[in-house]
């Protein structure tokens, strides 16, 4: 299979993720188009990039500002790689793939930033599914090093290898994952969230204290060593013994828990609605995001030298 030298990238979808993905590539010197179907979507993308500019190293800010925003689908014609980051809906993504595939160069690779839709199922809209794979970025895309590279049944090994190598070239820390629901990150994230909600619902600890347990305990350690390294350092006999008495007591809900459903029903959706588990009204929302970005930048610099 002919793999292009990736120089020109078109990101489709100028939302929360697409805008920051485009900006990350531009900051690293790639030629980047950011496509959106509407002018208002492009304006939102521009605002997301502008707000984020200060979290990009100073010397890369002028390159980062070179993203070309457009509604013109001709931007797909010259791309070596298209990254699709539009609405998380199978039919919407399929319709989009059918529209753009005829415009692409024969060598162009296509990656989706889907959070969890099956790559194999998504690939069915393509005449050339071997050129398609998952490239799952984590929010905020420019600050979190992990990228999950997911191969579907039809993905050619050369395609996922090229997307993996590109992620490394960006200074990211990619992993290969099979096309399983939630890939790796969301399987881990939701195992933790299910248990966190269970602890609050059963009164074992408050939301604040569960967050503290993660931030000052597990989370900090996990930023340095993963669960397998942790178990090795702690002793596998100890971890086996704890598993024997603890597993039966851990959350095993098969549906979203009542507390989460209740917040959703009340319209308390978190940052975007001004309240969720905590309050983000007034300037609190912007302050919470700025504080998160400041800490992520500082810790990444120390731990990963990026």
Q: What is the binding site for ligand NAD (CB under 6 A)?
A: 13-18, 36-38, 41, 85-88, 92, 96, 113-115, 137, 139
By C-beta, is 22 or 109 nearer to ligand NAD? 22
Distance CA 222, CA 303 (A): 12
Q: Say whether the peptide bond before residue 235 is cis (omega within 30 degrees of 0).
A: no
Question: Cβ 246 to ligand NAD, closest distance in Å?
Answer: 30
By C-beta, is 48 or 64 nearer to ligand NAD? 48
In sequence order, the β-bridge partners of residue 9 are 32, 81
Point out the residue whose Cβ comes nearest to ligand NAD.
15
DSSP state of 88: S
Question: Cβ 229 to ligand NAD, closest distance in Å?
Answer: 25
Question: Cβ 219 to ligand NAD, closest distance in Å?
Answer: 18
Structure-block tokens of residue 83: 């990254």
By C-beta, is 185 or 199 nearer to ligand NAD? 185
Structure-block tokens of residue 231: 């178990």
By C-beta, is 24 or 36 nearer to ligand NAD? 36
By C-beta, is 76 or 137 nearer to ligand NAD? 137
Question: Cβ 269 to ligand NAD, closest distance in Å?
Answer: 12
Backbone angles phi, psi at 35, to 5 degrees: -100, 140
Question: Cβ 296 to ligand NAD, closest distance in Å?
Answer: 14
**Other C-beta atoms lying within 10 Å of the C-beta of residue 88:** 13
What is the Rg, in whole angstroms, of the alpha carbon atoms belonging to the chain? 21
By C-beta, is 78 or 116 nearer to ligand NAD? 116
By C-beta, is 41 or 129 nearer to ligand NAD? 41
On whether the CB atoms of residues 189 and 115 are closer than 8 A, the answer is no
Non-local (6+) Cβ contacts of 223 within 8 A are 299, 303
Distance CA 2, CA 105 (A): 11
Which class for 163: exposed (0-12), middle (13-18), buried (19 or more C-beta within 10 A)? buried
In our burial notation (b when 16+ CB lie closer than 10 A, e otherwise), range 57-67 reads: eeebeebbeeb
Question: Cβ 73 to ligand NAD, closest distance in Å?
Answer: 11
Question: Cβ 35 to ligand NAD, closest distance in Å?
Answer: 8
């Amino acid at each position: 299979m002919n793999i292009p030298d990736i120089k020109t990238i078109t990101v489709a979808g100028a939302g929360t993720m697409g805008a920051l993905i485009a900006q990350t590539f531009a900051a690293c010197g790639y030629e980047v188009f950011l496509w959106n179907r509407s002018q208002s979507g492009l304006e939102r993308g521009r605002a997301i990039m502008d707000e984020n500019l200060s979290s990009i190293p100073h010397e890369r800010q002028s390159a980062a500002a070179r993203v070309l925003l457009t509604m013109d689908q001709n931007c797909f014609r010259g791309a070596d790689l298209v990254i699709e980051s539009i609405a998380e809906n199978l039919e919407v993504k399929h319709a989009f793939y059918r529209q753009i595939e005829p415009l692409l160069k024969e060598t162009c690779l296509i990656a989706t930033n889907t959070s969890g839709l099956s790559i194999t199922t998504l690939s069915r809209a393509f005449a050339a599914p071997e050129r398609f794979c998952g490239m799952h970025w984590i929010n905020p895309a420019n600050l979190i090093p992990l990228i999950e590279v997911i191969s579907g049944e039809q993905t050619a090994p050369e395609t996922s290898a090229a997307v993996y190598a590109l992620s490394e070239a960006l200074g990211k820390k990619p992993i290969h994952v099979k096309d399983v629901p939630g890939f790796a990150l969301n399987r881990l994230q939701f195992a933790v969230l299910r248990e966190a909600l269970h602890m609050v619902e059963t009164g074992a600890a408050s939301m604040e204290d569960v967050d503290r347990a993660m931030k000052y305990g597990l989370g900090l350690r996990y930023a340095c060593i993963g669960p397998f390294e942790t178990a090795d350092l702690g002793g596998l006999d100890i971890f086996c013994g704890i598993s024997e008495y603890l597993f039966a007591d851990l959350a095993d809900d098969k549906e979203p828990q009542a507390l989460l459903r209740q917040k959703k029903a009340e319209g308390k959706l978190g940052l975007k609605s001004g309240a969720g588990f905590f309050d983000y009204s007034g300037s609190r929302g912007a302050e919470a995001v700025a504080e998160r970005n400041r800490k992520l930048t500082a810790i990444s610099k120390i731990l990963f030298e990026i």
